[in-house]
Chain A
Amino acid sequence: MRDVAVISFAQAKNQRRVADLNEVEMLMPVTGQVLDQVGMTIDDIGFTCSGSSDYLAGVGFSFVSTLDGVGPWPPIQESHVEMDGAFALYEAWVKIQLGEIDTALVYCYSKSSPGDLPMVLTRQLDPYTVAPLWPDTVSLAALQARALIDAGRTTEPEMAEVAARSRRSALDNPNAQLAWDRPAGDLLTEDYHVAPLRKHDCAPITDGAAAVVLAAGDAARRRVERPAWIRGIDHRIEPMALGLRDLTVSASTRLAGEKAGVADGPVDVAELHAPFTHQELILREALGLVDHQNVNPSGGALSANPMLAAGLIRIGEVATRISSGEADRGVAHATSGPCLQQNLVCVLEGES
């Protein structure tokens, strides 16, 4: 295996709605910054991989016009995933492992605001028997939360604690969309949004973008003092049919965590991509981080959830803390699909 590191990370300020810019205009400052930070241009990049979804933009092949923002002429080596940027990072990591290239630019973005997001996301469900019912994402997550509560594995007060802690942590995150300091007890007095979920249990709808630069071995060491090395990365998928899964556990996260080697060393920081409070509890259990004290110091997806980018942001947040020396070893997680269907786990580490 080649040593591959995250050497640069940038993200847009997360907002409920970016009304004046199109996707490429929103993205360009981010891809520009991520390269500038390490003194690189697109000419120094061996492979570019992006994550976005035409369903969110409501425009076919929207990723093609966004590619203009990195300057793809003369032609560059490039790929795209209709998934979170974390999965684009995985593709880029594999490409670097093949040995043909030493550097990669990974970027992702979404404007979730143009459409009705919970309805748009129904289109990822089984097209014959489930999608025609238009079950929105919040309702599906509420089913999952209900199953977890009924199994005696969480309570509404415990979920409110996750919400309160995440939004409090977000006060230190200048890119966060939702940040406030309210006691969990107060939150429980609010009405249900979709029972047993209250609004604070749900991630906000966010427009945003993020980018990462990966580099192998000396190409990384040459450019930054303390690269955040990817020590393990793995992703797994569960069946499409929700009825085939035990929604109270995340078997795919557990397996990905084992393969990525989460338990092989101390975890100083973990960023888990949990768009709903109860999902953080499921993920903690799957990764052996039930009582961990430093989960989602950025505020997590509950404080900003740009679709297709919130997973890569988790990796970027951990990498930034490693590169700054704040942490030595960390875990980043990204999810995709309804009720934590697909999960990616990445273990990052700094050199002493």
Chain B
Amino acid sequence: MTAAASTPHSEGAPLAITLPASLQGVELVRSVRTPAQLDYQFTAGAATSRFLRGIAQKKILGERCPVCGKVYVPPRGACPRDGVPTSEQVELPHVGTVTSFCVVNVAFYGSSMELPYTSANILLDGSHLSLMHLIQEIPADQVRIGMRVEAVWVPDDELKPTLESIKWFRPTGEPDDVNVDIPGEDHGTGLGSWVGGVAPIDPRGTH
């Protein structure tokens, strides 16, 4: 073994590899593409199936935790506070409040939406978990936290067990709910007061 080979990096030189004659002058591999696709048969589960069957009948069904009483929609079957199955179904109104939103300005693969569009977390009246959906029939730059919205459904003969049966949500025209509860925010409703571009004020004055 030569001194150079035993300490290949001592002078910053890479370890010399001698290729067989057949590979001399062959272009180096700079990248490889190895497409992979796996197909799955997804199980929605008992609670989500109940929800989706409701959607096909133009009903929005949440599920209530038997311990804390909170209503989750769409239900996954478990209460994250108490770790118990939800069981009681609760039919919810098709009206709610925007608790958060983002304006999408970048197209992504598989989306047919016209840019820009707004994706929002919507807290349906009587529920304690916001669901994500689109906001339409209002310019994207006018969407705001606290805005009251209602579901716009596909025609009745096109209803299917998918959330796409709700085309989007649109403003109801009601006054904003500046005190909307943000799920997961135990300390109050400060975010609601961002309405109209006004900075949030903690109602308890403890900012």
Contacts and interface: CB of A to CB of B under 8 A. Distances in A.
Interface in B146-196: none
B132 to A, nearest CB: 14
Contacts of B84: 28, 32, 71
B9 interface: no
A123 B38 CA distance: 10
A255 B78 CA distance: 42
B32 interface: yes
A120 B46 CA distance: 25
B80 to A, nearest CB: 4
Contacts of B78: 24-25, 28, 68-69
A37 to B, nearest CB: 15
B76 A22 contact: yes
Nearest to B72: A68
B28 to A, nearest CB: 14
B80 A58 contact: no
B32 A68 contact: no
Nearest to B44: A22
Mostly, the B contact residues are: loop
- Most interface-central of A22, A24, A65 (chain B CB within 10 A): A22
A13 B49 CA distance: 22
Given A25-B85, A116-B39, A68 B80 contact: yes
A120 B76 contact: no
A25 B45 contact: yes
A242 interface: no
Interface string B35-48: 01011111111111
A267 B43 CA distance: 42
Contacts of B85: 25, 28
Interface residues of B, number: 25
B25 interface: no
A57 B43 CA distance: 9
A113 B81 contact: no
B124 interface: no
A21 B40 contact: no
A115 B38 contact: yes
A235 B30 CA distance: 36
A217 interface: no
B34 A131 contact: yes
A110 to B, nearest CB: 13
A71 B79 contact: yes
Contacts of A116: 38-39
B62 interface: no
Contacts of B80: 67-68, 71-73
A131 B83 CA distance: 38
A96 B47 CA distance: 36
Interface string A1-39: 000000000000000001111111100100110000000
Contacts of B76: 22, 24, 65, 68
Interface in A25-82: 25, 28, 31-32, 42, 55, 57-59, 65, 67-73
A288 interface: no
A127 interface: yes
Nearest to B34: A132
Interface string A128-140: 1001100000000
Contacts of A22: 43-48, 76-77
A20 B46 contact: yes
A32 B36 CA distance: 38
A73 B83 CA distance: 9
Contact of B45 (A21, A73, A115): A21
A19 to B, nearest CB: 6
Contacts of A123: 36, 38
A114 to B, nearest CB: 4
A146 interface: no
Contacts of A72: 80, 83
Interface of A: 18-25, 28, 31-32, 42, 55, 57-59, 65, 67-73, 111, 113-116, 119-120, 123, 127-128, 131-132
Interface of B: 32, 34, 36, 38-49, 76-85
Given A22-B76, A28-B83, A73-B80, 7 more contacts: A22-B77, A24-B76, A25-B78, A32-B83, A42-B83, A57-B40, A71-B82
25 contacts: A18-B43, A20-B43, A21-B46, A22-B43, A23-B45, A25-B77, A25-B78, A31-B83, A58-B40, A59-B42, A68-B80, A68-B83, A71-B82, A72-B83, A73-B80, A114-B40, A114-B41, A114-B42, A115-B38, A115-B40, A115-B41, A116-B39, A120-B38, A123-B38, A131-B34
3 A-B pairs with the lowest CB-CB distances in the bound complex, closest first: A22-B45, A71-B83, A58-B40
